[in-house]
Each structure stands twice: as C-alpha cells, then as structure tokens.
Chains A and B, each alone.
Chain A
Amino acid sequence: MIRRTADGARAEAGVQAGGTRPVELAVELARQGGGSRKRIAVNGVPRRAAALAGTLRVVLFAPEEMLLVAGPPGLRRSALDLLAGQARPAYLHDLATYGRALQQRNSLLRAIRDEGASPEDLRLWDAPLVEAGAAVVAERLRLLDALAGPLAAAGREIAPGEGPLTVVYETNAPRLPGEEPREALARRLRDTADKERWNGTTLVGPHRDDLRFELAGEPLAAFGSRGQQRSAILAFKLAQLDLLTDLDGRPPLLLLDDVFSELDPQRREHLVRRIADLPQAFVTTTSPHDLDPALREHATTWRVEPDDGERGALLLPDRGHEGPAVAVP
C-alpha cells in the first residue's frame, strides 16, 4: 500500500537459500492514474511476477483467508494456484496460456453471438484451451494428492478426534472411465457448445472448478462450525509448509498477517509451536497483546512507526532475540 503523502512504496528482500547464490528481490508500487502499478525486479532486472515463484517460496496466512472454506470458489482456486506455481513454476505458464486462450475464446464467442463471426474458428482456441486446461487440472490433482497426507496429519494434530480432514477437487469436466483429462474437457466443451454460444462465454474448464473441504466425509462449508472451518484452514496452511519443505528440504517463508486475533488459544498455541520450528517466519500484528507470550520469547520484535521525514516508516528493534520476527505496526 502507498502512503497517502508518498509517490510510491518499495519492498526489498535478499534471499539466500541453501548453497545457491543470493538473489535480490524488489517490488515497487508507483502511483499511476487513480491506482498503482507494480514493478518487480530480480537482481535489478525487471521481471514478471511469475519469475518470483521459483525464487522465494512463501506461505501466506492473512485474515481474508478465514473465508477459504466457506467463501467464494475463486479464493480456493487462487490459493491452489499460488501453491502449485511455487511447487512447479511451469504451472504458471500453463495457467497463463489457459487464461489467454480462454479470453480469446470468450471474445470469439461474443463475436459469434453479436457479430456473426464463424463458429468454426472456435476450434483454433479449443486446442490450446484443452491442452493447457488439462495440464492445469492434472497439476492441481497431483498437488492435492501430495497434500493429502500432510493435511490429514495437520488436521489430526490441531483437532484430534474429529475425523479425517480432506480436500476434494470438484471439476466440471469429470472423466468417464478410461478417459484422459483432455478428452473429458473436450467432450464437455462439445456438450455445452450451444449453451455457451448463447451465453457468450466458456462454461466449462478449470477456471470454474472448485475445492471442497471435508471433515469425516462431510462438507465443512455447509456443516462445519466456524471453529472447525478455522482449524481446517490452519491445517491447510501448515500442510503447505510441509509440502513445500519436502520438495527440496528448504522450508518456505511463513508470512502471518494479523491472524492471531482470529484464532482461539488452542489453535494459537499450535501455530506458535510450528513457527518455533521454522528457520524464518514473519508475523505482523496491530495488537501485540494478541501474540502468544511463548512466541514473543522466541521472536525478534520490530516496531513500525511513522517517520515525519521523507521516508515512509521506521523499523525499530524492540528486543534483540534471534528467531522469527514480529513486526508491530
């Protein structure tokens, strides 16, 4: 976010991961028109956001994500895409190709409906849509498969005795026996051809798929209490930590943005134990009293204070411990 009186904002990070050469990352927000424009640089060279995926692995836990189980499907798709992109950067390319093919196809569907363009030309976009779409679905399924073990374990730890926690992929192009994902998607496209021409938009594909969190086989969005939903979200995040760590033994960076106030004491305690095991984690909060005393023991605390001069804010060391950092704005 850009401070009201400032022209821009900039965050820099030096990343060094097990034996690799250090990488300098910079993300800059500059005012443009009524909004802002983001610029990303890796070692001083401007890059696209996708370039960050392989450089710094991050698990972010923010208050918005408390809606992950019961909120709109887009939240769950983004969470899954963010994870899949970090686990395998080529995923982001498939996802971008799929998104572009989808846009082209939807533009053509509208042109067919409104301007009499030739429906035959849809085939030009079906091919990349089906190919990239099937790759996206396959990677999502592979990822959820790898996540199942860590997720069940984290669920057991956080809420013992509540039954197994699972995540089910809900696709709108389910495979028939013996069918490949791309064949299933192509078949569903054919099935919905008339309807989508009427609607002027593509109705099937991974952009409309969803995830369903289940506890002991029951969908949590419909039947879970708020506490159970929060446990599931916490378990989902911790399982991501395990999954990304297992890739090459390097734990990702855990970023916790003001989430302690959203958790009850038992879940906080569990989270603190996990944070203490990590080589690095950043926790931000506006109310330091919400922090677990055990966490404050481990952590280096920084207080973020407004600076009356030209610069945006100051980081002031509060106490000098090694370990996870806590920033108190």
Chain B
Amino acid sequence: MPAPLIEPVARLIESFARLPGIGPKTAQRLTFHLLRAPEVEARNLAAALVAVRDEVVFCERCFNISDAPLCSICRDPGRDTSRLCVVEEPLDVLAIERTGEFRGLYHVLNGAISPIDGIGPERLRIRELLARADEARRAGRPFTEVILATNPTLEGEATAMYLAERLEATVESITRIARGIPVGGDLEYADEITLIRSLQGRRAV
C-alpha cells in the first residue's frame, strides 16, 4: 500500500477534481502548485472563492450574475428596453456584450431543456421570462424584438422552439441567431455541417 496523502491535501485534490474540465492529474498539479506558491497567492484564491459566493447574486430581473439585486445592464438607463436577448448562460451575456453591437436587455435561462439531464422547462428561468414579456405588454411597452440566442445545439434549438411558441402572443417579433461560416475563416477549413447550414441560410446580396 502506498502511503496515503495527508488529509488536507487529499481534500483539496478532490475539490479541484470535482470542477468541470479538471481531471485527477490536473487536480494534483493545481494542489501542489498552491503548496509551493507564496502563501499570499493561496490566501487570495481562498478569499476570492468566498467573495464569489458571498457577494455575487443573480439579477432578479434577468438572472445574470450581479453584485446588486439588479445587474449593471438592467440598471443602465441607456439600454434599449424594447429589445431582449435570451441566452443560456451568464458567459453568453459577456460574449455578446464584447461585441458592443447589442444595446438591449438580456434574459439568462441558466441552461437549456435537456430531459437526459433531468432539465425540463420548469427548471429554467422560463416562467420569469414569459412573465417579463407579459408585463411589458400590459404596460403598453411590449418587446419589439426577442432574440433567441441559445446555442445551436439540439438542446438549444429545442429550447428556442419552446420559447418561440410561448412568446408569440406577447412580443412583436421573435428572431433566432444565424448559423454559418466564421468571419475571417476559410471556406476550405469549415466543417461540412457548418458549410451545409450556411448554404441553407444563404441570402440575396
């Protein structure tokens, strides 16, 4: 029997290994890195972990991550409140914000419908989205456009379909993000499926 790891080390390795994308080997490497690193580095990491749990909440309107009951986007008076972009995860908000192209509001579902993972519509922030659209309509300021920006996966498409059917009555128009060739990409290197989809989604110039 090899000598067992002392308990605090084993516990940290296990905690790292539970994170997505981190296997047992990487978990060990991270643990031993922190053991060797200056103490302040480890203490900073620990403090950051505590802060992220204590100080970050979900925005009560759009369910993006936030440091206040309403997130900075929902608080911003300069945003176009007639447009709404629906995404799966907070990271998707960051991605779209980086473009600087969209000035409307967001709604974060926190996932996509996936029966395999036991995720039905009721497990997502869908009820809140429908209530939000309905409220806006009652207030006489219905969303002029809801962009369904869930991922172009089977689950993302199913979620978009589900939402489109339920939003129809309360918003003016529903759109779905396009699929196709990445900008600056070479046709030669695009995979066949992407090429097929972009041919199907072609438009007149």
Say whether A and B bind each other. yes
Query: What residues of chain A have their CB less than 8 Å away from a CB belonging to chain B?
Result: 89-90, 93, 97, 100-101, 103-105, 107-108, 111, 117-118, 121, 124-125, 127-128
In the bound complex, residues from chain B placing their C-beta under 8 Å from that of A121 are 113, 120-121, 162
Q: Residue on B with the closest CB to A108?
A: B115
Min CB gap A86→B, angstroms: 14
Please provide the chain B residues from 120 to 136 with a CB less than 8 Å away from any CB of chain A in the complex.
120-121
Assess the A93–B192 pair: CB atoms within 8 A.
yes
**A117-B120 contact in complex given A89-B192, A104-B114, A111-B115, C-beta closer than 8 Å:** yes
Interface status of B154 (Cβ within 8 A of chain A): yes
Q: Is the interface of B mostly helix, strand, loop or mixed?
A: helix
Measured between beta carbons, the chain B residues less than 8 angstroms from A118 are 120
8 nearest interchain CB pairs? A107-B115, A108-B115, A124-B158, A107-B116, A93-B193, A100-B154, A90-B192, A104-B115
How far does the alpha carbon of A118 sit from the alpha carbon of B120 in the complex, in Å? Answer: 9
Contact of A90 with B193 in the complex, beta carbons under 8 Å? yes
Q: Assess A104 versus B193: contact at CB under 8 Å? Given A124-B158, A127-B161.
A: no
Say how far B16's CB is from chain A's closest CB, in angstroms.
19
Q: B155 at the A/B interface (Cβ < 8 Å)?
A: yes
A118, B121: Cα distance in complex, Å: 10
| Known A104-B115, A104-B158, A117-B115; further 14 A-B contacts with Cβ < 8 A | A90-B192, A90-B193, A97-B154, A101-B154, A104-B114, A104-B116, A107-B116, A111-B120, A121-B120, A121-B121, A125-B115, A125-B158, A127-B161, A128-B154
Residues of B within 8 A of A (CB): 113-116, 118, 120-121, 154-155, 157-158, 161-162, 192-193, 196
Complex alpha-carbon distance, A111 and B154, angstroms: 19
- In the assembly, what is the distance between CA of A3 and CA of B118, in Å? 40
Please, which residues of chain B bring their CB within 8 A of the CB of A108?
115
B116 CB contacts on chain A under 8 angstroms: 103-104, 107
Residues of A with C-beta under 8 A to B196:
90
Residues of A within 8 A of B121 (CB): 121
12 contacts between A and B (CB under 8 A): A90-B192, A103-B116, A107-B118, A108-B115, A111-B118, A111-B120, A117-B115, A121-B120, A121-B121, A124-B113, A124-B162, A128-B158
Known A117-B120, A121-B120, A121-B162; contact A128-B157, beta-carbon cutoff 8 A: yes
A288 → chain B, closest Cβ, in Å?
A: 43
Give the shortest distance, in Å, between B193 (CB) and chain A (any CB). 5
What separation, in Å, do the CA atoms of A111 and B122 have in the docked complex? Answer: 13
CB distance from A43 to the nearest CB of B (A): 13
For A132, give the chain B residue with the smallest CB separation.
B154
Say whether, besides A89-B192, A97-B154, A108-B115, A124 and B161 are in contact (CB < 8 Å).
yes
A117 to B121, CA, bound (A): 10
Interface centre among A100, A108, A121, A124 (most CB of B within 10 A): A124
| Chain B: minimal CB distance from A125 (Å) | 6
Q: For B158, what are the chain A residues with a Cβ–Cβ distance below 8 Å?
A: 104, 124-125, 127-128
- Closest beta carbon of chain B to A314's beta carbon, Å: 31
Determine the chain A residues whose CB is within 8 A of the CB of B155 once the complex forms. 104
CA distance A104 to B162 in the complex (A): 15
Q: How far is the CA of A125 from the CA of B157 in the complex (A)?
A: 10
Query: How far is B88's CA from A118's CA once the two chains are assembled, in angstroms?
Result: 22
* Bound Cα distance A236, B193 (Å): 29
Q: Contacts of A117 on B, CB cut-off 8 Å?
A: 115, 120
- Are B154 and A104 neighbours in the complex by a CB distance under 8 Å? yes
Cα distance, A124 to B161, chains bound together (Å) = 7
